[in-house]
Amino acid sequence: MSAASLRSASSIPVRQRLIVALDVPDAATAKSLVGELGDSVEFYKIGLELAGSGDYFDLLAWLLEQDKRVFADLKFYDVPATVSSAVRQISRWGASFLTIHGDRAIMEAAASEKGPELELLAVTVLTSLDQNDLAQMGITIDVKELVLMRAEQALEAGCDGVISSGLEAAAIRERVGPKLLIVSPGIRPADSTSVDDQKRIVTPARAFQNGADYIVVGRPIRNAANPRETAESMQAEIAAALL
């Protein structure tokens, strides 16, 4: 059975599988990009840069008013009691997804407070890290095995999904089947020549062929000469990959 056949949620609307990262300095810039993209994008990620701007929750509420879904990419990592309290607060704001780091105690604490609407995504290994980076942190386990271990623990802890490179998505599907959502950042178009901080990257088509449910795309859309055209091109690539 292929990894794609084990994808967790086939009922997800196709055009919601593309999540655009609003990694910009302020709400005005974010709103401008959302306006430019129009109906080509239905799902947005807002992360730490905007959290530091003071505009975070106003922007979150504004996106919901525009009938967009919101992914709160805050990657909570703290003592379990603090994380559970923070998750309880975020659950009131209407976001669809929230990220936490893939530590077992943190995942369990977060899952206990997420409520029925908010879906928790555990970060396995950041896509900006490779084996050399893990070694510098004193982690000797292979990247893939660490991702798989954290995915299994996320499932056991009550999380709804994981953040994982599309490179490891197929292995996660083989290990846990369709029981977890897989959201894959580190996406680059096949013709991309950009150099940035992402190391474990895949194309949109490959991510879905490997069993991902969603992809997160930032710079390739945001920095494109025509962001809307680029987003529509990715939407077409996603639709073709899901046939």
- The residues spanned by each domain of the chain are 4-241
For the domain made up of 4-241, give the CATH fold: TIM Barrel (3.20.20)
pLDDT greater at residue 136 or residue 12? 12
Mean pLDDT, residues 103-113: 95
Q: For residue 196, what are its two tokens?
A: 């940035």
pLDDT digits (tens, 9 = 90+) for 170-226: 999 999 999 999 999 988 876 554 544 455 568 899 999 999 999 999 999 999 999
Among candidate residues 6, 17, 83, the one with its CA nearest the CA of residue 239: 17
Per DSSP, helices labelled H in 66-197 are: 80-90, 104-111, 131-136, 143-157, 166-176
Task: Report the share of the chain in percent with pLDDT over 90.
Answer: 74
pLDDT at 190: 61
Residues contacting 5, CB < 8 A, separation 6+: none
- Give the C-alpha separation, 160 to 151, whole Å: 10
Element (H, E) at 72: strand 69-76
* CA dist 29 → 24, 49, 101, 113, 158 (Å): 7, 12, 28, 32, 36
Question: Is the separation of the CB atoms in 116 and 93 below 8 Å?
Answer: no
pTM of the prediction? 0.90
The CA angle 79-147-154, to the nearest 5 degrees, is 50
The model's pLDDT over 185-196, given as tens digits with 9 standing for 90+, comes to: 988 876 554 544
For 52-93, the pLDDT digits (tens) are 999 999 999 999 999 999 999 999 999 999 999 999 999 999
Taking the CB of residue 52, how many other CB atoms lie within 10 A of it? 10
Mean pLDDT lowest among 106-120, 122-136, 153-167? 122-136
Q: What are phi and psi of 76, to 5 degrees?
A: -60, 135
Residue 14: predicted pLDDT: 95
Cα angle 36, 23, 206; round to 5: 85
Q: Which residues are catalytic?
A: 75
